[in-house]
Amino acid sequence: MKEIPLKIEHAGKWSVIKAQVGEDRILFPAPVDKEILFKSIFDLEEKKNILIITVKGNPDTVIRIASIEKVLLVLKRLILASCNAYRLMAYFMSPAIRGGVLAKNAQWEKGSIAVVKTGIWFVSATKQICVPLSDVAAIELTKRDVQGKPTDVVRIDHVESGEVVSSLVLCPLSTLQVLANFLKDATKGMDMKGNELDAVGQQVAMLVYSGMDSHAI
Protein backbone atom coordinates (compact mmCIF):
# COMPACT_ATOMS: atom_id res chain seq x y z
CA MET A 1 0.00 0.00 0.00
CA LYS A 2 1.12 3.56 -0.70
CA GLU A 3 1.07 6.43 1.76
CA ILE A 4 -0.56 9.69 0.67
CA PRO A 5 -0.97 13.00 2.54
CA LEU A 6 -4.46 14.48 2.79
CA LYS A 7 -6.94 16.34 4.96
CA ILE A 8 -10.10 14.61 6.12
CA GLU A 9 -13.15 16.09 7.81
CA HIS A 10 -13.73 14.39 11.15
CA ALA A 11 -15.81 15.39 14.16
CA GLY A 12 -16.57 18.78 12.63
CA LYS A 13 -12.99 19.77 11.81
CA TRP A 14 -10.28 19.00 9.28
CA SER A 15 -7.43 16.68 10.31
CA VAL A 16 -4.14 16.24 8.46
CA ILE A 17 -3.30 12.54 8.06
CA LYS A 18 -1.30 10.12 5.92
CA ALA A 19 -3.64 7.51 4.50
CA GLN A 20 -2.65 4.07 3.20
CA VAL A 21 -4.00 3.34 -0.29
CA GLY A 22 -4.17 -0.01 -2.06
CA GLU A 23 -5.79 -1.15 -5.30
CA ASP A 24 -9.08 -1.97 -3.56
CA ARG A 25 -9.15 0.04 -0.33
CA ILE A 26 -8.03 3.06 1.64
CA LEU A 27 -7.07 3.08 5.31
CA PHE A 28 -7.45 6.24 7.38
CA PRO A 29 -5.36 6.28 10.61
CA ALA A 30 -6.33 7.95 13.90
CA PRO A 31 -8.28 10.01 14.67
CA VAL A 32 -10.55 8.55 11.93
CA ASP A 33 -9.32 4.95 12.25
CA LYS A 34 -11.39 3.53 9.41
CA GLU A 35 -10.82 1.21 6.45
CA ILE A 36 -12.94 1.75 3.34
CA LEU A 37 -13.26 -0.82 0.55
CA PHE A 38 -13.68 0.94 -2.79
CA LYS A 39 -16.46 -1.49 -3.77
CA SER A 40 -18.54 -0.15 -0.84
CA ILE A 41 -18.48 3.39 -2.30
CA PHE A 42 -21.61 4.21 -4.31
CA ASP A 43 -21.19 7.93 -4.86
CA LEU A 44 -18.29 10.23 -5.69
CA GLU A 45 -18.50 13.99 -6.10
CA GLU A 46 -15.80 16.63 -6.55
CA LYS A 47 -16.14 20.25 -5.52
CA LYS A 48 -13.01 22.30 -6.12
CA ASN A 49 -10.23 20.35 -4.36
CA ILE A 50 -12.56 18.29 -2.15
CA LEU A 51 -13.74 14.75 -2.85
CA ILE A 52 -17.06 13.76 -1.30
CA ILE A 53 -17.30 9.98 -0.94
CA THR A 54 -20.46 8.16 0.14
CA VAL A 55 -19.98 4.67 1.61
CA LYS A 56 -22.74 2.11 1.93
CA GLY A 57 -23.60 1.21 5.52
CA ASN A 58 -26.22 1.48 8.22
CA PRO A 59 -26.35 4.42 8.09
CA ASP A 60 -24.39 5.44 4.99
CA THR A 61 -21.20 7.40 5.68
CA VAL A 62 -20.15 10.60 3.90
CA ILE A 63 -16.40 11.29 3.87
CA ARG A 64 -14.84 14.57 2.73
CA ILE A 65 -11.21 14.55 1.63
CA ALA A 66 -8.98 17.42 0.50
CA SER A 67 -5.52 17.19 -1.05
CA ILE A 68 -3.35 18.35 -3.93
CA GLU A 69 -4.58 17.66 -7.46
CA LYS A 70 -2.08 14.84 -8.09
CA VAL A 71 -3.30 12.89 -5.05
CA LEU A 72 -6.97 13.42 -5.90
CA LEU A 73 -6.38 12.20 -9.46
CA VAL A 74 -4.96 8.93 -8.13
CA LEU A 75 -7.81 8.51 -5.63
CA LYS A 76 -10.48 9.17 -8.26
CA ARG A 77 -8.90 6.68 -10.66
CA LEU A 78 -8.80 3.93 -8.02
CA ILE A 79 -12.30 4.63 -6.69
CA LEU A 80 -13.96 4.87 -10.11
CA ALA A 81 -12.34 1.60 -11.22
CA SER A 82 -13.81 -0.39 -8.31
CA CYS A 83 -16.75 1.49 -6.77
CA ASN A 84 -20.38 0.38 -6.87
CA ALA A 85 -21.39 1.96 -10.21
CA TYR A 86 -22.85 1.21 -13.63
CA ARG A 87 -19.64 0.96 -15.65
CA LEU A 88 -18.70 0.28 -19.26
CA MET A 89 -15.72 0.67 -21.55
CA ALA A 90 -16.34 3.20 -24.31
CA TYR A 91 -15.04 6.07 -26.38
CA PHE A 92 -16.30 9.45 -25.28
CA MET A 93 -16.05 13.11 -26.20
CA SER A 94 -16.75 15.50 -23.33
CA PRO A 95 -17.42 18.26 -23.96
CA ALA A 96 -18.21 17.71 -27.64
CA ILE A 97 -20.54 20.64 -28.35
CA ARG A 98 -20.61 23.88 -26.38
CA GLY A 99 -23.16 26.58 -27.15
CA GLY A 100 -24.03 24.95 -30.48
CA VAL A 101 -20.50 24.68 -31.89
CA LEU A 102 -17.78 22.06 -31.72
CA ALA A 103 -15.87 22.46 -28.47
CA LYS A 104 -12.24 23.55 -28.66
CA ASN A 105 -9.83 20.59 -28.85
CA ALA A 106 -12.75 18.12 -28.90
CA GLN A 107 -11.57 14.59 -29.65
CA TRP A 108 -12.56 11.00 -28.93
CA GLU A 109 -11.03 9.56 -25.77
CA LYS A 110 -10.69 5.84 -25.10
CA GLY A 111 -11.72 5.04 -21.55
CA SER A 112 -14.74 4.22 -19.45
CA ILE A 113 -18.04 5.61 -18.23
CA ALA A 114 -19.03 5.20 -14.57
CA VAL A 115 -22.49 6.24 -13.39
CA VAL A 116 -22.74 6.73 -9.62
CA LYS A 117 -25.64 8.00 -7.52
CA THR A 118 -25.28 11.69 -8.40
CA GLY A 119 -23.12 11.85 -11.52
CA ILE A 120 -21.76 10.47 -14.79
CA TRP A 121 -17.98 10.14 -14.80
CA PHE A 122 -15.98 10.09 -18.04
CA VAL A 123 -12.55 8.57 -17.37
CA SER A 124 -9.55 8.14 -19.67
CA ALA A 125 -5.79 8.07 -19.26
CA THR A 126 -5.73 11.88 -19.19
CA LYS A 127 -9.26 12.98 -18.18
CA GLN A 128 -11.67 12.63 -15.26
CA ILE A 129 -14.83 14.57 -16.01
CA CYS A 130 -18.05 14.45 -13.99
CA VAL A 131 -21.48 15.52 -15.22
CA PRO A 132 -23.90 15.82 -12.28
CA LEU A 133 -27.14 13.97 -13.00
CA SER A 134 -29.05 17.02 -11.74
CA ASP A 135 -27.53 19.05 -14.61
CA VAL A 136 -28.59 16.61 -17.35
CA ALA A 137 -31.19 18.17 -19.68
CA ALA A 138 -31.61 15.47 -22.35
CA ILE A 139 -30.38 11.98 -23.29
CA GLU A 140 -30.70 10.66 -26.83
CA LEU A 141 -29.54 7.71 -28.91
CA THR A 142 -28.64 9.36 -32.22
CA LYS A 143 -26.15 9.25 -35.09
CA ARG A 144 -23.00 11.24 -35.76
CA ASP A 145 -20.41 11.07 -38.51
CA VAL A 146 -17.35 9.24 -37.15
CA GLN A 147 -14.47 8.88 -39.62
CA GLY A 148 -16.89 9.67 -42.41
CA LYS A 149 -19.51 7.08 -41.47
CA PRO A 150 -22.90 7.60 -39.75
CA THR A 151 -22.42 5.98 -36.34
CA ASP A 152 -24.73 5.37 -33.38
CA VAL A 153 -23.83 7.38 -30.28
CA VAL A 154 -25.49 8.48 -27.05
CA ARG A 155 -25.68 12.25 -26.73
CA ILE A 156 -25.97 13.69 -23.22
CA ASP A 157 -27.01 17.36 -23.08
CA HIS A 158 -26.24 19.06 -19.79
CA VAL A 159 -25.96 22.52 -18.31
CA GLU A 160 -22.55 23.91 -17.44
CA SER A 161 -22.01 27.49 -16.25
CA GLY A 162 -25.36 28.53 -17.67
CA GLU A 163 -24.91 27.12 -21.19
CA VAL A 164 -25.89 23.84 -22.81
CA VAL A 165 -23.02 21.40 -23.39
CA SER A 166 -23.23 18.04 -25.17
CA SER A 167 -21.12 14.96 -24.45
CA LEU A 168 -21.01 11.92 -26.75
CA VAL A 169 -20.47 8.23 -25.97
CA LEU A 170 -19.47 5.65 -28.58
CA CYS A 171 -19.57 1.87 -28.06
CA PRO A 172 -21.45 -1.14 -29.58
CA LEU A 173 -25.10 -0.38 -30.35
CA SER A 174 -26.52 -2.92 -27.90
CA THR A 175 -24.47 -1.35 -25.10
CA LEU A 176 -25.48 2.16 -26.17
CA GLN A 177 -29.16 1.20 -25.92
CA VAL A 178 -28.64 -0.17 -22.41
CA LEU A 179 -26.68 2.97 -21.43
CA ALA A 180 -29.34 5.33 -22.79
CA ASN A 181 -32.11 3.49 -20.93
CA PHE A 182 -30.07 3.35 -17.73
CA LEU A 183 -29.32 7.08 -17.82
CA LYS A 184 -32.96 7.93 -18.50
CA ASP A 185 -33.97 5.85 -15.48
CA ALA A 186 -31.21 7.40 -13.35
CA THR A 187 -32.36 10.92 -14.17
CA LYS A 188 -36.08 10.19 -13.94
CA GLY A 189 -37.75 12.39 -11.36
CA MET A 190 -34.86 14.87 -11.23
CA ASP A 191 -34.68 18.30 -12.84
CA MET A 192 -35.37 16.96 -16.32
CA LYS A 193 -39.08 17.44 -15.67
CA GLY A 194 -41.07 20.49 -14.66
CA ASN A 195 -41.17 24.03 -15.88
CA GLU A 196 -37.91 25.09 -14.27
CA LEU A 197 -35.94 23.80 -17.27
CA ASP A 198 -38.10 25.37 -19.99
CA ALA A 199 -35.31 27.77 -20.98
CA VAL A 200 -32.77 24.97 -21.10
CA GLY A 201 -35.17 22.81 -23.06
CA GLN A 202 -35.44 25.56 -25.65
CA GLN A 203 -31.66 25.77 -25.91
CA VAL A 204 -31.42 22.01 -26.37
CA ALA A 205 -34.11 22.09 -29.06
CA MET A 206 -32.20 24.84 -30.87
CA LEU A 207 -29.06 22.67 -30.85
CA VAL A 208 -30.94 19.63 -32.13
CA TYR A 209 -32.64 21.44 -35.00
CA SER A 210 -29.91 23.92 -35.91
CA GLY A 211 -27.73 21.25 -37.50
CA MET A 212 -24.67 22.81 -35.87
CA ASP A 213 -23.57 19.50 -34.38
CA SER A 214 -25.03 17.04 -36.89
CA HIS A 215 -21.88 16.71 -38.99
CA ALA A 216 -19.21 18.30 -36.81
CA ILE A 217 -17.87 15.10 -35.28
Residue-wise pLDDT for 141-182, tens only, equals 999 999 889 999 999 999 988 889 999 999 999 999 999 999
Domain span including residue 111:
86-210
Rounded to whole angstroms, the Cα distance separating 52 from 56 reads 13
70 and 138 in a single domain? The answer is no
Residue 95 and residue 188 in one domain: yes
- The answer to whether position 191 is within a domain reads yes
Instruction: Give tens-digit pLDDT for 3-53.
Output: 999 999 999 999 999 999 999 999 999 999 999 999 999 999 999 889 999
What's the rounded Cα separation, in Å, for the pair 129 and 145? 23
* Predicted local distance difference test score (pLDDT) of residue 177: 93
One domain for residues 100 and 176 = yes
* Statement to judge: residues 106 and 201 lie in one domain: yes
Any domain includes 215: no
Same domain, 95 and 198: yes
202 & 111 share domain: yes
CB burial string 144-166: b at 16+ within 10 A, e below: bebeeeebbbbbbbbbeeeebbb
Which residue among 55, 82, 109 closes a domain?
A: 82
Report, as an integer, the average pLDDT of 185-197: 58
In the listed set 65, 82, 99, which residue is the last one of a domain according to the structure? 82
In a shared domain, residues 113 and 65: no
Q: What is the CATH number of the domain that holds 37?
A: 2.30.29.30
Q: 142: burial class by Cβ within 10 Å (0-12, 13-18, 19+)?
A: middle
Residue range 25-38, pLDDT digits in tens: 999 999 999 999 99
Q: Is residue 61 part of a domain?
A: yes
Residue where a domain stops, chosen among 29, 57, 82: 82
* Reduced 3-state DSSP string for the chain: CEEEEEEEEECCEEEEEEEEECCCEEEECCCCCEEEEHHHEEEEEEECCEEEEEECCCCCEEEEEECCHHHHHHHHHHHHHHCCCEEEEEEEEEEEEECCEECCCCCCEEEEEEECCCEEEEEECCCEEEEEHHHEEEEEEEEEEECCEEEEEEEEEEEECCEEEEEEEECCHHHHHHHHHHHHHHHCCCCCCCHHHHHHHHHHHHHHHHCCCCCCC
Write the pLDDT tens digit of every residue in 88-145: 999 999 999 998 898 988 999 999 999 999 999 999 998 999 999 999 999 999 999 9
Res 34: pLDDT = 95
